[in-house]
Amino acid sequence: MSWDNVFASPAPYGEMNYNGSKEVKLISYPKSKIAAPENGIVVEPLKPFCEKSIHIKHKTDKGNVTSVFCGVDYPIVANGDKIKKNESIGTYGDDKIFYYIINDEGKKLNIEQYFTSPVASRVSGDDKELDRKKEELRKKIEDDSDKKTNTKNDEGMENLFVNMMLLPFSALNSATQKAKYEYGKKKEEQDKKDKEEKIKKETEKLEKKHQKDKNLQENIIRIKNLLK
């Protein structure tokens, strides 16, 4: 972006999730800071825009715009405060915060044009890639599990039939059918439980690695922007 006022992420320790082009859901861990995206002054709106809000008016080479934060449980600024870019204006609570940019008429503007695309988190190719990897992981675990289940079932049934041979001949048929059914049902339930547990653990590891890589890249981008 060639213009001077490139906004910084209001969620420096979290992420920005777009809901269309004019609304962003800010997600971060509780007690982390909500950052001012640009220099500005805290203003009191003439008309209420939303509950528990903070309004920061910015002067940019694109004209005057106002950042609006909705759902701020723990603000630390007041009307008239002059705020610097990246300065803390409050902290995150348990609920998500919604972010908007409006003009002097109160009209919502396209948010992404004020942010560099790497910092403004997209329903991104990164997230789609994560979904693809999770689906591949589930399929692989299910395929591996099915192969192991077939092998174990064959071995288990061999042992079962050996034991059945020790029964009197008259009881062999009914006992075999009952034992075969109970064994198969119990084995199926255990295999399903083991499979779901493995999928859950491996998915959690994949998500943690993805988030770690994503945070690293966003931190690199922020540092580069601060050094400009």
For residue 10, tell me if it sits in a domain: no
Q: Which of 64, 97, 121 is the last residue of a domain?
A: 121
The C-alpha atoms of residue 215 and residue 217 are separated, in whole angstroms, by 5
134 and 213, same domain (yes or no): yes
Tens digits of per-residue pLDDT, 98-152? 999 999 888 999 998 888 654 444 444 556 666 777 677 777 777 777 666 555 5
The C-alpha atoms of residue 113 and residue 118 are separated, in whole angstroms, by 12
pLDDT at 136: 77
Average pLDDT, the chain: 77
Q: Which of 121, 141, 158 is the last residue of a domain?
A: 121
The number of distinct structural domains making up the chain is 2
For residue 226, tell me if it sits in a domain: no
Instruction: Kindly give the parts of the chain with pLDDT less than 70.
Output: 1-5, 116-130, 134, 146-181, 183, 211, 214-228
177 and 148, same domain (yes or no): yes
97 and 178, same domain (yes or no): no
The C-alpha atoms of residue 41 and residue 82 are separated, in whole angstroms, by 4
Q: Which two tokens stand for residue 21?
A: 């082009």
Distance of CA 1 to the CA centre of its chain: 27
210 and 188, same domain (yes or no): yes
Residue (of 12, 8, 16) closest to 38 by Cα position: 8
DSSP per-residue string spanning 164-221: HTTS-HHHHHHHHHHHHHHHHHHHHHHHHHHHHHHHHHHHHHHHHHHHHHHHHHHHHH
pLDDT at 108: 94
Give the CATH number, domain containing residue 59: 2.70.70.10
